[in-house]
Structure 1
């Protein structure tokens, strides 16, 4: 990345907004906390798609050295959230409507059949375990907190797919959802009412699973993932 001891003065677009995610505290897990802060800033739209951000500037914002920032950004590059720009920094990825559609299609292929199988295999009380995650998503949506909702949404879907016991499936679907949320940050912004409608589908899905209404489960799961209704 940046070479030499002298760093160029950042341009206006290099500056991280004042509210770019939570502050990074303790040093015992600096990389992980920087990663969480950057994810928050990305999903919240505070890091702008198409713009390049340098590791030293981001490091100054979070009060850390450039090394954990570079490491976190490399992780985000693996997730498709940013692209490495040699000798400059990292460009926030831009997504097209086709990207969104393809992500939704792949998610539907993987998640919907898994959820339908689980609906017939798990007892109703197991689904109740996901109520707190669904409630967390509704609360974040009600606040209009896009980044908070993205984390709650990711947690809900990951916990649901984890019921399959298939670690690879859980990992892959979780990665796809991360990529879909990056796309939301770079494209259509959901209003609070739309976030709430999206979050309420988690509750409706749980209700259908507990009632063992299999046709309703499949419909809600498919609609929830559909790009035609919302970006993620």
Structure 2
């Protein structure tokens, strides 16, 4: 994970790459919620000085992925039930509008793209790769979010996606992924049928099911 050698093109590039790698590590639960993020450990891990580490931690605090407290340092942020409620409320508002637009779109293209992500997830799961399966389902959401076509909303979506990916890694089991696949197939069927109401209903049911599972998995 070192940033030495040819990757050290400029100080700005180093700062950005440290931020991006640490962000992905937090999302992928390399650092569990509540785990301390010690500068000395991170400088050794990423092969950089303390300055880009400190700047990355501040940016990640703004993203809501890191908590920084005086005299205690930084740690990976944790979620409360209220946090999850806000995250899933925002997701439901955005994705329901997206899925309605997807279902109302002419032609089969969006339905085919959504189905391709679920097909890919099924193949990964059959091969025993849950992480790849979850990543394919993340792509399902990305296809939906493309329907926004609104730069301001897309900024909100990008921040929301970080938390959704991170929370989704907590309860990653064959059972949870299989259940999610079935729910995604129901959503796709409504999109392919050009049924906005049915697509929204299926999506709401899926999101609320996922929220309940995450609350249970996090023990909150």
Q: Do both proteins adopt the same fold according to a TM-score greater than 0.5, normalized to the shorter chain? A: yes
Determine the C-alpha separation between the residues in 2 that align with 1:27 and 1:83.
Answer: 28
More helix by share: 2
Which aligned pairs between 1:104-143 and structure 2 lie closer than 5 A?
104-138=88-122, 142-143=128-129
Q: 1:231 aligns with which of 210, 214, 218?
A: 214
Deviation at 1:132, TM superposition (A): 4.5
Which aligned pairs between 1:27-66 and structure 2 lie closer than 5 A?
27-28=8-9, 29-66=13-50
| Alpha-carbon displacement from aligned partner over 1:80-101 (angstroms, at most 9, x marks no partner) | 1111234654221111122212
Consecutive unaligned residues of structure 1, counting only runs of 5 or more, are 1-22
Is the 8 Å Cα contact of residues 35 and 72 (structure 1) preserved in structure 2? Answer: yes
* SS across alignment from 1:35: helix
Deviation at 1:135, TM superposition (A): 4.3
Is the 8 Å Cα contact of residues 24 and 63 (structure 1) preserved in structure 2? Answer: yes
Determine the C-alpha separation between the residues in 2 that align with 1:96 and 1:45.
Answer: 17
| Alpha-carbon displacement from aligned partner over 1:81-131 (angstroms, at most 9, x marks no partner) | 111234654221111122212221222122213321331134322332345
* SS across alignment from 1:83: strand
Deviation at 1:60, TM superposition (A): 0.5
Determine the C-alpha separation between the residues in 1 that align with 2:123 and 2:74.
Answer: 32
The two structures have a TM-score, normalised by structure 2, of 0.74
Determine the C-alpha separation between the residues in 2 that align with 1:107 and 1:34.
Answer: 28
Determine the C-alpha separation between the residues in 1 that align with 2:33 and 2:110.
Answer: 40
User: Judging changes above 3 Å, is the alpha-carbon distance between structure 1 residues 134 and 36 closer, same or farther for their aligned structure 2 residues?
Assistant: farther
| 1:216 corresponding residue in structure 2 | 198
Determine the C-alpha separation between the residues in 2 that align with 1:230 and 1:161.
Answer: 23
Deviation at 1:179, TM superposition (A): 2.1
User: Judging changes above 3 Å, is the alpha-carbon distance between structure 1 residues 87 and 228 closer, same or farther for their aligned structure 2 residues?
Assistant: closer
Consecutive unaligned residues of structure 2, counting only runs of 5 or more, are 216-220
* SS across alignment from 1:164: coil
| 1:82 corresponding residue in structure 2 | 66
Deviation at 1:144, TM superposition (A): 2.6
| Alpha-carbon displacement from aligned partner over 1:127-150 (angstroms, at most 9, x marks no partner) | 3234554445445655132xx566
| 1:91 has 2:75 as partner | yes
Deviation at 1:24, TM superposition (A): 4.7
User: Judging changes above 3 Å, is the alpha-carbon distance between structure 1 residues 168 and 136 closer, same or farther for their aligned structure 2 residues?
Assistant: farther
Deviation at 1:218, TM superposition (A): 1.4
User: Judging changes above 3 Å, is the alpha-carbon distance between structure 1 residues 66 and 197 closer, same or farther for their aligned structure 2 residues?
Assistant: farther
| 1:18 corresponding residue in structure 2 | none
Aligned length: 206
| 1:12 corresponding residue in structure 2 | none
User: Judging changes above 3 Å, is the alpha-carbon distance between structure 1 residues 97 and 130 closer, same or farther for their aligned structure 2 residues?
Assistant: same
